[in-house]
Copies of this chain bind each other. A is one copy, B any other.
Amino acid sequence: MKLQLPPRISAAAFQRGLAAFERVVGAEWVLASDLDRDTYRDMYQPANETTHVPAAAVAPQSTEEVQALLRLANEHRIPLWPISRGKNLGYGGSAPRMSGSVILDLSRMRRILDVDVKHGYCLLEPGVGFFDLYQHLQDNRIPLWLSVPANAWGSVIGNALERGIGYTPYGENTAQLCGLEVALPSGELVRTGMGAMTNGRAGQLFRYGFGPSWDQLFVQSNFGVVTRAGMWLMPEPEATLGLGFALPEASDIIWALDILAELRLRRVIDTSVTMGNYLRTATMRGQRAEWYQGPGPIPTEIERQIMEKYGLGRWNFTINLFGYDAVNQANARIIRDAFAPHYRGEIRETHWQRGEPLAQSAANIPTVVFLQVVNWWGGRGGHMGFSPILPTDGKEAYTQFEATRQRYEEFGLDHFGGFTMGERYLTNVNQIIYNRDDADMTRRAHALFNALVDDAARAGYGEYRTHLSYMDKVAHSFDFNDHALLRLNETVKNALDPNGIVAPGKSGIWPRAYRGERA
Protein backbone atom coordinates (compact mmCIF):
# COMPACT_ATOMS: atom_id res chain seq x y z
CA MET A 1 0.00 0.00 0.00
CA LYS A 2 1.28 3.43 -0.82
CA LEU A 3 2.02 5.82 2.00
CA GLN A 4 -0.88 7.82 3.39
CA LEU A 5 0.49 10.45 5.78
CA PRO A 6 -1.14 11.49 9.05
CA PRO A 7 -3.26 14.68 8.74
CA ARG A 8 -1.21 17.89 8.41
CA ILE A 9 2.17 16.12 8.45
CA SER A 10 4.58 16.57 5.56
CA ALA A 11 6.52 13.66 4.13
CA ALA A 12 9.75 15.18 5.46
CA ALA A 13 8.36 15.69 8.96
CA PHE A 14 7.05 12.12 8.93
CA GLN A 15 10.48 10.79 7.93
CA ARG A 16 12.09 12.78 10.74
CA GLY A 17 9.63 11.15 13.15
CA LEU A 18 10.43 7.65 11.91
CA ALA A 19 14.14 8.38 12.14
CA ALA A 20 13.64 9.40 15.77
CA PHE A 21 11.69 6.17 16.41
CA GLU A 22 14.58 4.23 14.88
CA ARG A 23 16.97 5.69 17.43
CA VAL A 24 14.76 4.12 20.16
CA VAL A 25 14.02 0.66 18.76
CA GLY A 26 16.68 0.22 16.07
CA ALA A 27 16.11 0.58 12.32
CA GLU A 28 14.94 -3.01 11.93
CA TRP A 29 11.89 -2.42 14.14
CA VAL A 30 10.54 0.54 12.21
CA LEU A 31 8.55 -1.04 9.39
CA ALA A 32 7.62 1.37 6.64
CA SER A 33 7.70 -0.36 3.26
CA ASP A 34 4.60 -0.82 1.09
CA LEU A 35 4.60 -4.49 2.09
CA ASP A 36 4.82 -3.57 5.79
CA ARG A 37 1.81 -1.33 5.41
CA ASP A 38 -0.14 -4.14 3.75
CA THR A 39 0.82 -6.48 6.54
CA TYR A 40 -0.74 -4.26 9.19
CA ARG A 41 -3.97 -3.55 7.31
CA ASP A 42 -7.24 -5.29 8.25
CA MET A 43 -6.74 -8.67 6.64
CA TYR A 44 -10.48 -8.96 6.01
CA GLN A 45 -10.71 -5.65 4.20
CA PRO A 46 -11.28 -5.62 0.44
CA ALA A 47 -7.98 -4.78 -1.25
CA ASN A 48 -9.42 -1.82 -3.15
CA GLU A 49 -10.52 0.04 -0.02
CA THR A 50 -8.26 2.81 1.18
CA THR A 51 -9.51 3.35 4.73
CA HIS A 52 -7.66 2.33 7.89
CA VAL A 53 -4.28 2.32 6.18
CA PRO A 54 -1.29 2.53 8.53
CA ALA A 55 1.66 4.69 7.51
CA ALA A 56 4.19 2.44 9.22
CA ALA A 57 4.71 0.30 12.28
CA VAL A 58 7.12 0.50 15.19
CA ALA A 59 7.78 -2.39 17.54
CA PRO A 60 9.28 -1.61 20.95
CA GLN A 61 10.64 -4.30 23.21
CA SER A 62 10.13 -2.72 26.62
CA THR A 63 8.01 -0.32 28.62
CA GLU A 64 10.84 2.21 28.55
CA GLU A 65 10.86 2.08 24.74
CA VAL A 66 7.08 2.58 24.69
CA GLN A 67 7.49 5.66 26.90
CA ALA A 68 10.25 7.03 24.69
CA LEU A 69 8.14 6.49 21.55
CA LEU A 70 5.18 8.30 23.12
CA ARG A 71 7.35 11.30 23.94
CA LEU A 72 8.69 11.38 20.38
CA ALA A 73 5.21 10.97 18.91
CA ASN A 74 4.18 14.09 20.84
CA GLU A 75 7.21 15.95 19.62
CA HIS A 76 6.71 14.94 15.99
CA ARG A 77 2.88 14.91 16.14
CA ILE A 78 2.70 11.36 14.83
CA PRO A 79 -0.42 9.42 15.85
CA LEU A 80 0.19 5.89 17.15
CA TRP A 81 -2.24 2.97 17.06
CA PRO A 82 -1.29 0.43 19.78
CA ILE A 83 -1.93 -3.25 19.13
CA SER A 84 -1.05 -6.21 21.32
CA ARG A 85 -0.77 -8.95 18.75
CA GLY A 86 -3.07 -7.41 16.16
CA LYS A 87 -5.49 -10.33 15.96
CA ASN A 88 -8.69 -8.42 16.66
CA LEU A 89 -10.14 -10.27 13.66
CA GLY A 90 -13.60 -9.25 12.56
CA TYR A 91 -13.15 -5.90 14.28
CA GLY A 92 -10.29 -4.49 12.25
CA GLY A 93 -7.34 -6.76 13.02
CA SER A 94 -4.13 -4.79 13.34
CA ALA A 95 -5.35 -1.77 11.34
CA PRO A 96 -5.80 1.73 12.77
CA ARG A 97 -9.05 3.71 12.86
CA MET A 98 -7.34 6.68 11.14
CA SER A 99 -5.22 6.26 8.03
CA GLY A 100 -1.72 7.62 8.49
CA SER A 101 -1.43 6.33 12.05
CA VAL A 102 1.72 4.42 12.91
CA ILE A 103 1.04 0.99 14.40
CA LEU A 104 2.60 0.65 17.85
CA ASP A 105 3.12 -3.09 17.72
CA LEU A 106 3.62 -4.50 21.23
CA SER A 107 3.95 -8.13 20.16
CA ARG A 108 7.67 -8.21 21.00
CA MET A 109 6.81 -7.48 24.63
CA ARG A 110 5.88 -11.04 25.52
CA ARG A 111 7.25 -11.65 28.98
CA ILE A 112 5.22 -13.65 31.48
CA LEU A 113 6.27 -11.65 34.52
CA ASP A 114 4.54 -13.65 37.23
CA VAL A 115 2.26 -16.62 37.73
CA ASP A 116 0.89 -17.08 41.25
CA VAL A 117 -0.81 -20.42 41.84
CA LYS A 118 -1.95 -19.73 45.40
CA HIS A 119 -3.78 -16.53 44.49
CA GLY A 120 -4.67 -17.55 40.93
CA TYR A 121 -3.26 -14.84 38.72
CA CYS A 122 -0.64 -13.99 36.15
CA LEU A 123 1.08 -10.75 35.22
CA LEU A 124 1.67 -10.38 31.50
CA GLU A 125 3.03 -8.11 28.85
CA PRO A 126 0.65 -7.40 25.97
CA GLY A 127 2.48 -9.55 23.45
CA VAL A 128 1.80 -12.79 25.36
CA GLY A 129 -0.64 -14.88 23.34
CA PHE A 130 -3.06 -17.54 24.55
CA PHE A 131 -0.80 -20.21 23.04
CA ASP A 132 2.24 -18.77 24.84
CA LEU A 133 0.51 -18.74 28.22
CA TYR A 134 -1.04 -22.17 27.71
CA GLN A 135 2.37 -23.60 26.85
CA HIS A 136 3.97 -21.96 29.89
CA LEU A 137 1.34 -23.42 32.23
CA GLN A 138 1.66 -26.86 30.64
CA ASP A 139 5.46 -26.87 30.59
CA ASN A 140 5.64 -25.92 34.24
CA ARG A 141 2.70 -28.09 35.33
CA ILE A 142 0.95 -25.08 36.83
CA PRO A 143 -2.65 -26.03 37.74
CA LEU A 144 -4.31 -22.85 36.46
CA TRP A 145 -6.71 -22.76 33.52
CA LEU A 146 -7.24 -20.20 30.78
CA SER A 147 -10.39 -18.59 29.51
CA VAL A 148 -9.89 -18.60 25.76
CA PRO A 149 -11.94 -16.96 22.99
CA ALA A 150 -13.24 -18.94 20.00
CA ASN A 151 -10.29 -17.79 17.92
CA ALA A 152 -7.27 -17.95 20.21
CA TRP A 153 -4.68 -16.46 17.90
CA GLY A 154 -4.43 -13.20 19.79
CA SER A 155 -3.09 -11.64 22.95
CA VAL A 156 -4.44 -12.52 26.39
CA ILE A 157 -4.39 -8.90 27.48
CA GLY A 158 -5.51 -7.58 24.09
CA ASN A 159 -8.56 -9.79 24.22
CA ALA A 160 -9.46 -8.60 27.72
CA LEU A 161 -8.91 -4.98 26.67
CA GLU A 162 -11.42 -5.48 23.85
CA ARG A 163 -13.89 -7.23 26.18
CA GLY A 164 -13.51 -10.64 24.58
CA ILE A 165 -14.96 -13.69 26.23
CA GLY A 166 -14.04 -17.27 26.98
CA TYR A 167 -16.07 -20.27 28.08
CA THR A 168 -15.21 -21.01 31.69
CA PRO A 169 -16.46 -19.37 34.92
CA TYR A 170 -13.78 -16.74 34.14
CA GLY A 171 -15.34 -16.18 30.73
CA GLU A 172 -15.86 -12.43 30.98
CA ASN A 173 -12.18 -11.81 30.29
CA THR A 174 -12.28 -8.07 30.93
CA ALA A 175 -13.57 -8.80 34.43
CA GLN A 176 -10.37 -10.75 35.16
CA LEU A 177 -8.13 -7.73 34.66
CA CYS A 178 -6.64 -6.65 37.97
CA GLY A 179 -3.91 -4.07 38.17
CA LEU A 180 -2.55 -2.41 35.06
CA GLU A 181 0.65 -0.65 34.16
CA VAL A 182 -0.11 2.05 31.63
CA ALA A 183 2.07 4.48 29.72
CA LEU A 184 -0.03 7.65 29.48
CA PRO A 185 0.07 9.64 26.22
CA SER A 186 2.67 11.93 27.81
CA GLY A 187 4.94 8.93 28.32
CA GLU A 188 4.39 8.97 32.08
CA LEU A 189 3.97 5.54 33.64
CA VAL A 190 1.15 4.79 36.10
CA ARG A 191 0.14 1.66 37.91
CA THR A 192 -3.45 1.20 39.00
CA GLY A 193 -5.14 -0.15 42.13
CA MET A 194 -3.01 -1.56 44.92
CA GLY A 195 -0.12 -1.83 42.45
CA ALA A 196 0.19 1.94 42.70
CA MET A 197 2.22 1.30 45.87
CA THR A 198 5.82 0.72 44.80
CA ASN A 199 6.06 -2.26 47.14
CA GLY A 200 2.34 -3.13 46.96
CA ARG A 201 1.48 -6.69 47.93
CA ALA A 202 -2.05 -6.75 46.48
CA GLY A 203 -1.70 -5.26 43.00
CA GLN A 204 -3.14 -8.35 41.32
CA LEU A 205 -5.46 -9.28 44.20
CA PHE A 206 -7.75 -6.34 44.94
CA ARG A 207 -9.46 -4.74 42.02
CA TYR A 208 -10.10 -1.24 43.29
CA GLY A 209 -7.27 0.39 45.19
CA PHE A 210 -7.97 3.65 47.01
CA GLY A 211 -10.05 6.33 45.31
CA PRO A 212 -11.37 6.06 41.75
CA SER A 213 -10.58 2.72 40.15
CA TRP A 214 -8.95 3.05 36.73
CA ASP A 215 -8.64 -0.39 35.17
CA GLN A 216 -11.83 -0.29 33.11
CA LEU A 217 -11.04 3.23 31.82
CA PHE A 218 -8.19 1.75 29.80
CA VAL A 219 -10.45 -0.86 28.19
CA GLN A 220 -11.60 -0.15 24.57
CA SER A 221 -9.86 3.13 25.25
CA ASN A 222 -7.30 5.56 23.92
CA PHE A 223 -6.36 7.07 27.28
CA GLY A 224 -3.03 5.23 27.47
CA VAL A 225 -1.00 2.22 26.34
CA VAL A 226 -1.24 -0.81 28.62
CA THR A 227 2.26 -2.18 29.05
CA ARG A 228 1.43 -4.93 31.53
CA ALA A 229 -1.66 -6.29 33.23
CA GLY A 230 -2.65 -8.71 35.94
CA MET A 231 -5.19 -11.34 34.88
CA TRP A 232 -7.00 -13.71 37.20
CA LEU A 233 -6.78 -17.39 36.30
CA MET A 234 -9.06 -20.20 37.48
CA PRO A 235 -7.60 -22.94 39.68
CA GLU A 236 -7.78 -26.32 37.97
CA PRO A 237 -11.04 -27.90 39.16
CA GLU A 238 -11.46 -31.41 40.52
CA ALA A 239 -13.84 -32.21 37.69
CA THR A 240 -15.82 -30.89 34.77
CA LEU A 241 -19.25 -32.00 33.64
CA GLY A 242 -20.89 -31.09 30.33
CA LEU A 243 -24.54 -31.27 29.33
CA GLY A 244 -25.13 -30.99 25.56
CA PHE A 245 -28.47 -29.89 24.11
CA ALA A 246 -29.80 -29.61 20.54
CA LEU A 247 -32.99 -27.65 19.88
CA PRO A 248 -34.87 -28.43 16.67
CA GLU A 249 -36.76 -25.17 16.03
CA ALA A 250 -35.57 -21.58 15.84
CA SER A 251 -38.35 -20.52 18.22
CA ASP A 252 -37.11 -22.97 20.88
CA ILE A 253 -34.79 -20.24 22.13
CA ILE A 254 -37.84 -18.49 23.60
CA TRP A 255 -38.18 -21.00 26.44
CA ALA A 256 -34.57 -22.22 26.41
CA LEU A 257 -33.04 -18.78 26.99
CA ASP A 258 -35.54 -18.08 29.77
CA ILE A 259 -34.52 -21.28 31.55
CA LEU A 260 -30.82 -20.55 31.05
CA ALA A 261 -31.32 -16.98 32.27
CA GLU A 262 -32.72 -18.07 35.60
CA LEU A 263 -30.07 -20.78 36.10
CA ARG A 264 -27.40 -18.22 35.25
CA LEU A 265 -28.80 -15.56 37.58
CA ARG A 266 -28.88 -18.17 40.36
CA ARG A 267 -25.30 -19.19 39.50
CA VAL A 268 -26.23 -22.83 38.95
CA ILE A 269 -24.57 -22.07 35.63
CA ASP A 270 -21.56 -19.80 35.94
CA THR A 271 -20.20 -19.81 32.41
CA SER A 272 -21.12 -17.85 29.30
CA VAL A 273 -23.19 -20.59 27.65
CA THR A 274 -23.16 -20.08 23.91
CA MET A 275 -26.08 -21.04 21.77
CA GLY A 276 -24.80 -21.36 18.23
CA ASN A 277 -26.92 -21.96 15.20
CA TYR A 278 -26.27 -24.90 12.90
CA LEU A 279 -24.17 -22.81 10.51
CA ARG A 280 -21.45 -22.46 13.13
CA THR A 281 -20.67 -26.15 12.81
CA ALA A 282 -21.24 -26.29 9.05
CA THR A 283 -18.71 -23.53 8.35
CA MET A 284 -16.04 -25.46 10.27
CA ARG A 285 -16.51 -28.54 8.10
CA GLY A 286 -16.80 -27.37 4.55
CA GLN A 287 -17.79 -24.73 2.04
CA ARG A 288 -21.12 -23.37 0.99
CA ALA A 289 -20.88 -24.54 -2.61
CA GLU A 290 -20.99 -28.16 -1.44
CA TRP A 291 -24.55 -27.47 -0.32
CA TYR A 292 -26.00 -24.72 -2.42
CA GLN A 293 -25.09 -22.65 -5.44
CA GLY A 294 -28.38 -20.94 -6.23
CA PRO A 295 -29.31 -17.31 -5.67
CA GLY A 296 -30.10 -15.74 -2.27
CA PRO A 297 -29.44 -17.19 1.17
CA ILE A 298 -29.53 -20.94 1.83
CA PRO A 299 -33.09 -22.28 1.55
CA THR A 300 -34.83 -23.98 4.49
CA GLU A 301 -34.70 -27.39 2.79
CA ILE A 302 -30.90 -27.24 2.52
CA GLU A 303 -30.63 -26.05 6.10
CA ARG A 304 -32.43 -29.24 7.18
CA GLN A 305 -30.02 -31.36 5.12
CA ILE A 306 -27.02 -29.74 6.74
CA MET A 307 -28.42 -30.22 10.24
CA GLU A 308 -29.22 -33.84 9.53
CA LYS A 309 -25.78 -34.60 8.14
CA TYR A 310 -23.99 -33.26 11.20
CA GLY A 311 -26.61 -34.39 13.73
CA LEU A 312 -27.29 -30.81 14.70
CA GLY A 313 -30.28 -28.97 16.02
CA ARG A 314 -31.18 -25.52 14.80
CA TRP A 315 -29.57 -24.39 18.05
CA ASN A 316 -26.84 -26.30 19.85
CA PHE A 317 -25.26 -25.60 23.20
CA THR A 318 -23.32 -27.24 25.97
CA ILE A 319 -23.56 -26.25 29.61
CA ASN A 320 -20.20 -26.89 31.26
CA LEU A 321 -19.78 -27.12 35.02
CA PHE A 322 -16.37 -26.74 36.68
CA GLY A 323 -15.53 -27.58 40.29
CA TYR A 324 -15.88 -30.38 42.83
CA ASP A 325 -17.63 -33.35 41.31
CA ALA A 326 -20.30 -33.57 44.01
CA VAL A 327 -21.24 -29.93 43.44
CA ASN A 328 -21.24 -30.36 39.65
CA GLN A 329 -23.54 -33.37 40.02
CA ALA A 330 -25.94 -31.44 42.26
CA ASN A 331 -26.04 -28.56 39.79
CA ALA A 332 -26.49 -30.93 36.83
CA ARG A 333 -29.59 -32.37 38.51
CA ILE A 334 -31.06 -28.89 38.95
CA ILE A 335 -30.37 -28.10 35.28
CA ARG A 336 -31.99 -31.35 34.09
CA ASP A 337 -35.04 -30.64 36.25
CA ALA A 338 -35.33 -27.12 34.85
CA PHE A 339 -35.25 -28.32 31.24
CA ALA A 340 -37.45 -31.42 31.76
CA PRO A 341 -40.84 -29.72 31.19
CA HIS A 342 -39.76 -28.42 27.75
CA TYR A 343 -36.94 -30.50 26.39
CA ARG A 344 -37.55 -33.97 24.93
CA GLY A 345 -34.21 -34.53 23.20
CA GLU A 346 -31.07 -36.31 24.32
CA ILE A 347 -28.76 -34.62 26.82
CA ARG A 348 -25.21 -35.60 25.96
CA GLU A 349 -23.32 -35.81 29.26
CA THR A 350 -19.52 -35.64 29.38
CA HIS A 351 -17.23 -36.05 32.38
CA TRP A 352 -13.66 -35.33 33.25
CA GLN A 353 -11.75 -35.89 36.48
CA ARG A 354 -8.41 -34.32 37.41
CA GLY A 355 -5.64 -36.58 36.06
CA GLU A 356 -7.46 -37.57 32.87
CA PRO A 357 -6.29 -36.05 29.55
CA LEU A 358 -7.13 -32.36 29.43
CA ALA A 359 -8.64 -32.67 25.95
CA GLN A 360 -11.52 -34.63 27.50
CA SER A 361 -12.31 -31.78 29.90
CA ALA A 362 -14.20 -28.55 29.44
CA ALA A 363 -10.91 -26.65 29.78
CA ASN A 364 -10.37 -23.96 27.17
CA ILE A 365 -7.46 -25.10 25.02
CA PRO A 366 -6.33 -22.51 22.48
CA THR A 367 -7.32 -23.23 18.89
CA VAL A 368 -7.76 -21.30 15.64
CA VAL A 369 -10.16 -23.76 13.99
CA PHE A 370 -12.84 -21.08 14.08
CA LEU A 371 -10.97 -19.03 11.47
CA GLN A 372 -12.14 -21.63 8.95
CA VAL A 373 -15.41 -19.67 8.92
CA VAL A 374 -14.06 -17.19 6.38
CA ASN A 375 -13.77 -19.88 3.72
CA TRP A 376 -17.52 -20.45 3.55
CA TRP A 377 -18.15 -18.51 0.35
CA GLY A 378 -14.87 -19.30 -1.36
CA GLY A 379 -12.49 -16.57 -2.53
CA ARG A 380 -10.55 -14.60 0.01
CA GLY A 381 -13.00 -14.48 2.87
CA GLY A 382 -13.69 -12.05 5.65
CA HIS A 383 -15.99 -11.73 8.64
CA MET A 384 -17.27 -8.91 10.81
CA GLY A 385 -19.00 -9.28 14.16
CA PHE A 386 -22.20 -7.45 14.96
CA SER A 387 -22.74 -7.80 18.69
CA PRO A 388 -25.60 -5.99 20.42
CA ILE A 389 -26.36 -6.55 24.12
CA LEU A 390 -29.89 -7.69 25.03
CA PRO A 391 -31.73 -8.44 28.26
CA THR A 392 -31.88 -12.16 29.11
CA ASP A 393 -35.40 -12.57 27.82
CA GLY A 394 -36.31 -15.38 25.43
CA LYS A 395 -39.11 -13.59 23.61
CA GLU A 396 -37.11 -10.43 23.13
CA ALA A 397 -34.13 -12.44 21.91
CA TYR A 398 -36.25 -14.33 19.40
CA THR A 399 -37.75 -11.12 18.05
CA GLN A 400 -34.26 -9.72 17.59
CA PHE A 401 -33.08 -12.97 16.02
CA GLU A 402 -35.93 -12.98 13.49
CA ALA A 403 -35.46 -9.31 12.62
CA THR A 404 -31.74 -9.90 12.12
CA ARG A 405 -32.31 -12.98 10.01
CA GLN A 406 -34.67 -11.04 7.75
CA ARG A 407 -32.07 -8.30 7.33
CA TYR A 408 -29.48 -10.88 6.26
CA GLU A 409 -31.97 -12.27 3.74
CA GLU A 410 -32.75 -8.81 2.46
CA PHE A 411 -29.05 -8.32 1.70
CA GLY A 412 -28.63 -11.82 0.30
CA LEU A 413 -26.31 -13.21 2.99
CA ASP A 414 -26.51 -16.32 5.16
CA HIS A 415 -27.46 -15.56 8.75
CA PHE A 416 -24.84 -16.78 11.18
CA GLY A 417 -25.91 -15.69 14.63
CA GLY A 418 -25.87 -16.90 18.18
CA PHE A 419 -26.37 -15.90 21.76
CA THR A 420 -24.00 -15.92 24.70
CA MET A 421 -25.63 -15.81 28.12
CA GLY A 422 -24.09 -13.47 30.69
CA GLU A 423 -25.39 -13.27 34.25
CA ARG A 424 -27.89 -10.52 33.36
CA TYR A 425 -27.36 -9.90 29.66
CA LEU A 426 -27.33 -11.71 26.35
CA THR A 427 -24.66 -11.01 23.79
CA ASN A 428 -26.16 -11.54 20.36
CA VAL A 429 -23.11 -12.23 18.22
CA ASN A 430 -23.81 -12.25 14.48
CA GLN A 431 -21.06 -13.01 12.03
CA ILE A 432 -21.27 -11.40 8.64
CA ILE A 433 -19.26 -13.68 6.39
CA TYR A 434 -18.31 -12.52 2.93
CA ASN A 435 -15.98 -13.09 0.04
CA ARG A 436 -13.88 -9.97 -0.19
CA ASP A 437 -12.99 -10.70 -3.79
CA ASP A 438 -16.67 -10.17 -4.57
CA ALA A 439 -17.14 -6.40 -4.65
CA ASP A 440 -20.91 -6.60 -4.69
CA MET A 441 -21.08 -8.98 -1.75
CA THR A 442 -18.69 -6.80 0.23
CA ARG A 443 -20.85 -3.78 -0.46
CA ARG A 444 -23.92 -5.68 0.72
CA ALA A 445 -22.10 -6.84 3.86
CA HIS A 446 -21.39 -3.22 4.81
CA ALA A 447 -24.91 -2.10 3.97
CA LEU A 448 -26.27 -4.90 6.14
CA PHE A 449 -24.01 -3.83 9.01
CA ASN A 450 -25.26 -0.25 8.82
CA ALA A 451 -28.87 -1.41 8.82
CA LEU A 452 -28.29 -3.69 11.81
CA VAL A 453 -26.69 -0.93 13.91
CA ASP A 454 -29.64 1.36 13.15
CA ASP A 455 -32.19 -1.37 13.95
CA ALA A 456 -30.47 -2.16 17.24
CA ALA A 457 -30.24 1.47 18.31
CA ARG A 458 -33.96 1.88 17.64
CA ALA A 459 -34.68 -1.16 19.83
CA GLY A 460 -32.40 0.11 22.62
CA TYR A 461 -29.57 -2.37 22.08
CA GLY A 462 -26.01 -1.09 22.07
CA GLU A 463 -23.03 -2.93 20.58
CA TYR A 464 -20.38 -3.88 23.12
CA ARG A 465 -17.66 -3.97 20.45
CA THR A 466 -17.44 -3.08 16.81
CA HIS A 467 -15.29 -2.89 13.70
CA LEU A 468 -13.15 0.22 13.13
CA SER A 469 -15.45 1.40 10.34
CA TYR A 470 -18.47 1.54 12.66
CA MET A 471 -16.93 2.97 15.83
CA ASP A 472 -18.27 6.46 15.20
CA LYS A 473 -21.71 5.17 14.31
CA VAL A 474 -21.94 2.96 17.38
CA ALA A 475 -20.53 5.65 19.70
CA HIS A 476 -23.12 8.02 18.26
CA SER A 477 -25.92 5.61 19.20
CA PHE A 478 -25.12 6.28 22.87
CA ASP A 479 -27.14 9.45 22.69
CA PHE A 480 -28.38 10.26 26.20
CA ASN A 481 -28.32 13.99 26.84
CA ASP A 482 -27.06 14.78 23.38
CA HIS A 483 -24.10 12.34 23.62
CA ALA A 484 -22.89 13.52 27.03
CA LEU A 485 -20.84 10.35 27.58
CA LEU A 486 -18.88 10.94 24.38
CA ARG A 487 -18.22 14.54 25.45
CA LEU A 488 -16.99 13.26 28.82
CA ASN A 489 -14.66 10.80 27.10
CA GLU A 490 -13.32 13.52 24.81
CA THR A 491 -12.82 15.98 27.69
CA VAL A 492 -10.64 13.40 29.42
CA LYS A 493 -8.94 12.46 26.16
CA ASN A 494 -7.94 16.07 25.53
CA ALA A 495 -6.70 16.49 29.09
CA LEU A 496 -4.52 13.38 28.95
CA ASP A 497 -3.46 13.61 25.31
CA PRO A 498 -3.40 17.23 24.16
CA ASN A 499 -1.68 16.32 20.87
CA GLY A 500 -4.05 13.43 20.29
CA ILE A 501 -1.28 10.94 19.53
CA VAL A 502 -2.72 7.76 21.06
CA ALA A 503 -5.25 5.87 18.92
CA PRO A 504 -7.29 8.79 17.59
CA GLY A 505 -10.85 7.69 16.88
CA LYS A 506 -10.73 4.53 19.02
CA SER A 507 -14.28 3.74 20.22
CA GLY A 508 -15.42 6.96 18.57
CA ILE A 509 -13.27 9.10 20.88
CA TRP A 510 -11.52 11.81 18.85
CA PRO A 511 -8.93 14.15 20.31
CA ARG A 512 -9.16 17.83 19.45
CA ALA A 513 -6.23 17.53 17.03
CA TYR A 514 -8.08 15.10 14.73
CA ARG A 515 -11.73 15.82 15.33
CA GLY A 516 -12.20 16.60 11.63
CA GLU A 517 -11.62 12.89 10.94
CA ARG A 518 -14.82 11.76 12.63
CA ALA A 519 -17.16 9.90 10.25
Contacts and interface: CB of A to CB of B under 8 A. Distances in A.
A509 interface: yes
Interface string A305-337: 000000000000000000110110111011000
Interface string A386-413: 0001111100100000000000000000
B189 A481 contact: yes
A327 B328 CA distance: 8
A485 interface: yes
Contact of A212 (B223, B463, B491): B223
B188 A323 contact: no
A9 interface: no
A223 B212 CA distance: 9
Interface string A441-474: 0000000000000000111111111100000001
B201 A460 contact: yes
A212 B268 CA distance: 30
A265 B209 contact: no
Given A202-B462, A484-B190, A197 B457 contact: yes
A208 interface: yes
Contacts of A481: 188-191
Interface string A210-249: 1111111111110100000000100101000000000000
Contact of A462 (B210, B393, B491): B210
State the copy count for this chain: 2
A72 interface: no
A488 interface: yes
A299 to B, nearest CB: 33
Nearest to A191: B480
A396 to B, nearest CB: 8
A334 B327 contact: yes
- Specify which of A175, A196, A459, A481 lies most central, judged by the most chain B CB atoms within 10 Å of its CB: A196
Interface in A31-46: none
Given A190-B485, A488-B190, A198 B479 contact: yes
Contacts of A218: 212
A424 B194 contact: no
A232 B121 contact: no
A390 B201 contact: yes
A208 B324 contact: no
Interface in A121-161: 121
A184 interface: yes
Interface of A: 118-121, 163, 169, 174-175, 178, 184, 188-192, 194-202, 204-221, 223, 232, 235, 237, 261, 265-268, 270, 323-324, 326-327, 329-331, 333-334, 389-393, 396, 422, 424-425, 457-466, 474-475, 477-481, 484-485, 487-489, 491-492, 494-496, 506-509
8 contacts: A120-B265, A196-B485, A199-B460, A201-B459, A202-B391, A210-B474, A211-B506, A217-B217
Closest 3 CB pairs of A and B: A495-B495, A211-B507, A213-B216
